[in-house]
Structure 1
């Protein structure tokens, strides 16, 4: 059965602010296209992007900006001519159920309760949370939900979404370890992701400053781009650790995996993660992750004390506990080696082909009714 699938998402993978959520959706889109389905990806425009383009068998329609993409995608009746709509709710819902009679699947990577006040002022934060927690559950009350972790599934249930309407489809990876990529001879920590406030890269910078007396050769690699980059560079300068940090910006896939393989530890101090795709990507190279338990999805992608460490917010923002956990892995070579072997085995079970198969099965069920 060949389907006509419409995907609504605020960014595509080549958007300057794209992250793991976009990687997930593009991989699913290209996987479905490769299986003979017609896939249209409606998203926002950005500098240098073509308004209409076909990549990897997926037709991209780029209109509107950061906020105007929502009304333009929905009021433009872009749902016409499709069998099923995948409406990606990154905090703000498209509410496509209001303008189409076709099945709508709502993809939610994580709930943004904690992020609204961090990124927006009080009034906008209250409005955003009202949209996410009140309006969206009502608008999608008859829709199937997909999320990437059991932790997000539980949060959706808390918002009133029926448990039997939520399907968990994990992230995957096709990356393989390269024997030519060697672990650094000196301790290195890596942070990878969009440089935005909610990723809290400052915590990793603070930890490196605290660890300097114990690990004078320690180095932090910050990989990724985003509008918060200047603030992070200023923070590193205030801490006096500019010589211990390299801001790489956006890098190629090959360079990303070289840096992941080189690192002793992957640091993910994010406020919230739906799953944490980079946890799996780092794990391919035997690099364990240190993350916060309260981030949610990290409790699904990391097996505490086996494939990585989960830290509680024990002292406010948790910098002290986070620093101690990083130091523990940097110091204990035997434990880190054991954890490296365990994380390789753990992440091997998460494959993109399984993710695409699950999506195809679900969409066919939706259309067939």
Structure 2
């Protein structure tokens, strides 16, 4: 089949869960014999153009800064949507399927507008469905209402819809999706081999790995370590990553006098993070908003339990079986996270063993391959072409 994958970012020029998903999707489809085109914005320097095996990468817009601080700009999504519109207007009949992300919306709307001419089918991934309250918080009164309305209109577009959690699948149905939504439970592309039966390192160490943006609430990790050290005096932490909240994290470490306790290595090689997870007492992810919760799976793949925080926008809780592969803190406080950290420490090898078993039992369900097979089967459904 002839498949057009549409996303405004491309891994590794931009790093994130969606970027990895679309690159893996494009390469897997090409390996399976499909003719694959990937539409994106320019992100690379001259002479460093992407070379994806079997995939034609087409930039439909210039290089642009996507964020101001921790928030998406409106200009790049509009420019990308126009580029996708122009491309599909000219070449839409080349494709059997256009597979796009819902966000940042204008590319999906471009596909919807050109579909009658191109007669392709639309597949759409809803990594997240934002609540009306979150839209208002993110963009303010007028902008938030516009964003919420655009998201709702996108849900009405005829499409084969996918979500990566029950939370966001339910929200998509509530928006008025015409048809059903398939929940893809796997995004993990690593090995499904049983995790190593290694003990946690001494002294006990908490690990965080990810971006430092407000919704990740990384300063809470520092607060939690400080509180947990009242019961586990030799507890330490390693916080990997960078972002606009990095200074706030450093300041919190200094305020609590934990300069010799909490490390901030920044972005490091993947094998360094892998080793840290493999020997961690636990991996802590205090995020308020997650569309999936990959860190829970990655932690379990290394035999480490994970701690997440209950919240209306946090789908990561769906991946934690309480007391089996980690804990869900009931509130976003240092004290609640500290209780969970202490529980991981006290349950020690027993919790690590049940985490390894959880990963072995659920690995296939959580694997990227399983989700890709589901998507490929969706392409095989009767075509929308006449």
TM-score, structure 2 normalization: 0.83
Q: 1:339 aligns with which of 351, 354, 364?
A: 354
1:353 to 2:369 alignment? yes
> Gaps spanning 5+ residues in structure 2: where?
67-74
The offset of 1:351, in angstroms, is: 2.3
Residue of structure 2 in register with 1:7 after alignment: 5
Given candidates 165, 170, 176, the residue that maps to 1:160 is 176
Which structure would you say has the larger Rg? 2
Residue matched to 2:72: none
Larger deviation: 238-247 or 199-208? 238-247
| Secondary structure class of the residue paired with 1:365 | coil
- Structure 1 residues 181 and 326: CA distance shift in structure 2, 3 A: closer
Q: Distance in 1 between matches of 2:55 and 2:288?
A: 32
TM-score, scaled relative to structure 1: 0.86
1:172 touches 1:355 (CA, 8 Å); kept in 2? no
| Matching residue within 199, 207, 211 for 1:190 | 207
Instruction: For structure 1, list consecutive stretches of 5 or more residues without a partner in the other structure.
Output: none
> Which secondary structure state, in structure 1, belongs to the residue aligned with residue 268 of structure 2?
coil
Query: CA offsets per residue over residues 134-187 of structure 1, 9 Å max, x none?
Result: 33223x1x212111122221111122224x421112223323467597631221
Alpha-carbon distance between aligned partners in 2 of 1:32 and 1:277, rounded to the nearest angstrom: 22
Q: Which residue number in structure 2 is paired with residue 297 of structure 1?
A: 315
Answering whether residue 76 of structure 2 is matched by residue 68 of structure 1, we say: yes
Q: CA deviation at 1:265?
A: 0.5
Displacement of 1:105 in angstroms is: 1.2
Q: Distance in 1 between matches of 2:102 and 2:253?
A: 34
- Counterpart position of 1:251: 268
Of residues 339, 352, 363, the one that matches 1:324 is: 339
**1:130 corresponds to which of 144, 149, 155:** 149
Q: Residues 143 and 165 of structure 1 are in contact (CA less than 8 Å); yes or no, is this contact kept in structure 2? A: no
Q: How many pairs are equivalent?
A: 359
User: 1:362: Cα distance to partner?
Assistant: 0.9
| Cα shift at 1:335 | 4.4
Give 1:32 shift: 0.9
Q: Is residue 148 from structure 1 mapped to residue 161 from structure 2 by the alignment?
A: no
The alpha-carbon deviation at position 14 of structure 1 amounts to: 1.3
Matched, 1:172 2:169: no
